Amino acid sequence: MSKALDMITRVRGVRGAMLVSAEDGLVVAEQLMEGIKGGAVAALAASLAGRLRRAMDAAGTGTSVFWHLQAEQGALLVVPGSEAAGSLLVVAVTEPDVNIGLVRLELLRVAETAV
């Protein structure tokens, strides 16, 4: 799991990556820069994932494969793993000017291979 997170954190501008249990909102594995509250990010990202899943079900769009929340000082990027993978979320916390496409690619790769 540590190797899998390496794939994400080696991208320039990524401040941390985590595997989060979607059901419990608990951290499964993390590689975070100092100052990022992993437990809080995990709990709130999992809560958001649950609400988004219900919103997308209600909208009839099917399950989400990637979300990107852009803020002034950074971004939160999440790829939900499959149900078969035990409902893990692959989460990245980034700088605002990160290469989103590259991080998305690595998140999807980790979700496919490691989760």
Partner 1 sequence: MSPHTRAVENWTLQPLTDFVREASARLVLVLTPSGQVLAQSGFSRAVDVMSAAALASAIVASTNELARQLRQAPFAALSHQGPKTGFFLATFVTDRGTLAVLAVYDLDVSSLGLVQLFYEQLAADLKAASPKGAVPKQVLAADFERELTDSLNTLFGR
| Residue 25 or 81 with smaller CB distance to partner 1 | 25
| Residue 30 or 106 with smaller CB distance to partner 1 | 30
How many CA atoms does the CB half-sphere of 81 hold within 13 Å? Answer: 23
**Bridge partners of residue 78, in order along the sequence:** 67, 91
Give the integer Cα–Cα distance in Å for 19 and 62: 22
How many residues form the binding site for partner 1 (CB under 8 A)?
A: 14
Span near partner 1 by CB under 8 A; candidates 8-16, 24-32, 62-70, 107-115: 24-32
Min CB(28)–partner 1 separation in Å: 11
Give the 3-state secondary structure of 3-48. HHHHHHHCCCCEEEEEEEECCCCCEEEEEECCCCCHHHHHHHHHHH
Q: Pick from 6, 24, 95, 112: which binds partner 1 (CB under 8 A)?
A: 24
Where does this chain bind partner 1 (CB under 8 A)? 20-21, 23-26, 39-40, 42-44, 46-47, 50
